[in-house]
Amino acid sequence: MPTERDELRRFLMAVHPYDALAPEVLDDLLPAFRPRAMAAGEPVYAYGEELEGLYLIRAGAVEVRDVNGAQISALGPRNSFGERGLTRDGLAVTSARTAADTQLLVLPKADFLRLVETQPAAKKFFDRQRAPRPKRQDLATSRVETLMARTPLTCAPGDTVQQAAQMMAETHVSSICITEGDMLKGIATIRDLSGKVVARALPYDTPVADVMTPDPVSLAPSAIGSDVLHMMMERRIGHVPVCEAGRLVGMVTQTDLTRFQAMTSAELVSEIAHAADAEAMAKVTARIPDLLVQLVAGGNRHEVVTRLITDIADTATRRLLTLAEQKLGPAPVPYLWLACGSQGRQEQTGVSDQDNCLILSDDATEADMAYFAQLAKFVCDGLDRCGYVYCPGDMMATNPRWCQPLRVWRGYFDGWIAKPSPEAQMLASVMFDLRPIGGDERLFEDLQTATLARAARNSIFVAHMVSNALKHTPPLGLLRGFATIRSGEHKNTVDLKHNGVVPVVDLGRVYALQGQLPEANTRARLEAARTAGVLSKTGGQDLLDAYDLIAETRLEHQARQIKTGGRPDNYLAPSVLSDFERSHLRDAFVVVKSLQSALGHGKGALG
């Protein structure tokens, strides 16, 4: 009959990171766990108390609340809590109470710290700061799945060599895979057709199976670029099929390797800067998804990836402004084109619409407005052609409301600050992310400085902005720690934009307002707020770490979708994540919720 020790071992072997411990390590750890039975509604610990150890739920449910009493997490069996305090100063940074009759396992502080110090799996699991990512992309170490073409040309063994040649000519490729179903049987290249068919004067109706290379060498998607390079050099081949269990899933050619090495954001920027029209630019921006995959696979941080992708949109905008002036003639008065939204913050990903406006010199006359209306239409139409779709909310320079002289813009901001209605809050939130793209930047300098100072002095406006910043909340709930979307197209997913990134963006905007900080980029705002004392050092670092994890999870999700031939979006199914990834993503959402609660109660970041 199993003993309590056996039951405990069986339970822990189903919980990460204990399932990764060596059997002897786990056996040595078993006696340290202290069982505790608690009735529903009992406090486990209070904020600021010294924690006795790490808590692990064996059965039941626990609610975790922040310093202001707002619930930030609802936990069930196999969830741990309390580690954040243990790895800082040993004091609880939250409070916890049972929500049902609960059985806890308590791992004393000394045993927990020893476990983290001696066991890499435990350290990795409980350390919320992720390991540094490589800073530079390297062809030799990039995975084959990021290099390969995902729809290789195929034909059946019985198809003729003429049919194969025609297919290759029509698709402008130099090889064709011969398959039965989705199983790879052989490969034929241009060299095979010229050397085996033309040189030998074989009939054009010869089956392609007669000239193909049967059972060609292949690689798995998990192979790396150096494997491809070495195979090509050793065997003197230029085409390597990619297979999983014999099933053809892709093809890597020498051209793919060259393109991978050559495709950088700088290359795309250069091509766009010299494009003759929007059509030519669209062919370049169509490669942005592949660039995103490449940048993510290369280990670049999220703020680097989004900055490089935004640079392409900036260049496209400036090129369209130049083309517009070539078509319409020089502008009658100075003007400034600005971006807001994700482009304004330099945070564009694989999913972006356009948000922009025009500030005109106060010398502009009514007659001049027709010119700028044409200029705005030319640029916005061009951006839409390049994949930056029209803003659903009409926040574009083509809307006469957002194409006005500087004096009108001053009036807009004065009105929003003086009377912070719901619409004013929304518009101010968007416009506080403005960033000059092309034109006379002097039109914005005084406007930004004066507006920040005036807004920061108006406590009612700041309070409304704080309220607006709390409307988007992290998706914390009962189901595996996440509140997923319950119905519709995106059922059982979490929205990594509106419930993940946007809450941090909103917090950063308020901190910038409170500190009168000119930065528009969210991460730059958080860093500046911490330096200026608007955020405490520890609270600011927690929020930066949480934001990094959420933003990188979003980019990795989009990269996965692109690699599998899909369109990138922001809807992540938690089920695709490992227990480790889910746990840390939940921790990141908890941090954001805590900072929202602190802001809502008029306090700084938790220190």
Q: How confident is the model at residue 70 (pLDDT cuts 50, 70, 90)?
A: low
Residue 602 has pLDDT above 90, yes or no: no
Mean pLDDT of 196-212: 94
Q: How confident is the model at residue 371 (pLDDT cuts 50, 70, 90)?
A: very high
Tens-place pLDDT, residues 474-513: 998 755 578 889 899 999 999 999 999 999 999 999 999 9
Domains 139-260 and 263-455 share a fold: no
Mean pLDDT of 138-150: 78
- In the numeric block, the tokens 């999870």 are attached to 553
Mean pLDDT of 434-441: 93
Pairwise CA distance, residues 343 & 339, whole Å? 6
The domain ranges of the chain are 4-126, 139-260, 263-455, 470-600
Pairwise CA distance, residues 13 & 26, whole Å? 9
8-state DSSP, 565: T
- In the numeric block, the tokens 């090889």 are attached to 175
pLDDT at position 478 is: 57
- In the numeric block, the tokens 């995959």 are attached to 293
Q: How confident is the model at residue 521 (pLDDT cuts 50, 70, 90)?
A: very high
pLDDT at position 298 is: 76
Pairwise CA distance, residues 467 & 21, whole Å? 46
Residue 607 has pLDDT above 60, yes or no: no
Q: Contact at 8 Å (CB) between 519 and 512? A: yes
Tens-place pLDDT, residues 246-278: 899 999 998 888 767 666 787 888 899 999 999
* β pairing state of 247-253 and 239-244: antiparallel
Q: Is 44 exposed, middle or buried (0-12, 13-18, 19+ CB in 10 A)?
A: buried
pLDDT at position 130 is: 44
Q: Which among 136, 139, 155 has a CA at the least distance from the CA of 147?
A: 139
Task: Provide CB contacts within 8 A for 497, sequence distance 6+.
Answer: 351, 554, 570
Per-residue H/E/C for 159-208: CEHHHHHHHHHHHCCCEEEEEECCEEEEEEEHHHHHHHHHCCCCCCCCEH
Residue 604 has pLDDT above 60, yes or no: no
Q: Which residue has the higher pLDDT, 575 or 129?
A: 575
Share of the chain above pLDDT 70, in %: 93
pLDDT at position 449 is: 85
568: three-class secondary structure by DSSP: coil
Q: How confident is the model at residue 605 (pLDDT cuts 50, 70, 90)?
A: very low
Residue 170 has pLDDT above 50, yes or no: yes
Q: Where are the alpha helices (DSSP H) in 472-536?
A: 502-515, 522-532
* β pairing state of 175-180 and 154-155: parallel
How many Cα atoms within 13 Å fall on the side-chain side of residue 310? 21
Mean pLDDT of 424-439: 87
Residue ranges of E strands in 5-52: 34-38, 43-45
Q: How confident is the model at residue 5 (pLDDT cuts 50, 70, 90)?
A: confident
Kindly report which listed range (334-338, 357-361, 467-471) carries the lowest average pLDDT score: 467-471
Domain 263-455: give its CATH superfamily. Beta Polymerase, domain 2 (3.30.460.10)
Q: How confident is the model at residue 433 (pLDDT cuts 50, 70, 90)?
A: very high
pLDDT at position 75 is: 75
The CATH topology of domain 139-260 is: CBS-domain (3.10.580)
Give me the phi and psi of 187, to 5 degrees please: -145, 145
pTM higher than the cut 0.85 = no
476: three-class secondary structure by DSSP: strand
pLDDT at position 585 is: 92
Q: Which residue has the higher pLDDT, 603 or 510?
A: 510
Task: Provide CB contacts within 8 A for 332, sequence distance 6+.
Answer: 364, 365, 368, 371
State the CATH architecture for 4-126.
Answer: Sandwich (2.60)
Tell me the chain's radius of gyration from C-alpha atoms. Answer: 29
Tens-place pLDDT, residues 374-411: 999 999 999 999 999 999 989 999 999 999 999 999 99
Pairwise CA distance, residues 537 & 558, whole Å? 32
As a whole number, the mean pLDDT across the chain is 88
pLDDT at position 505 is: 96
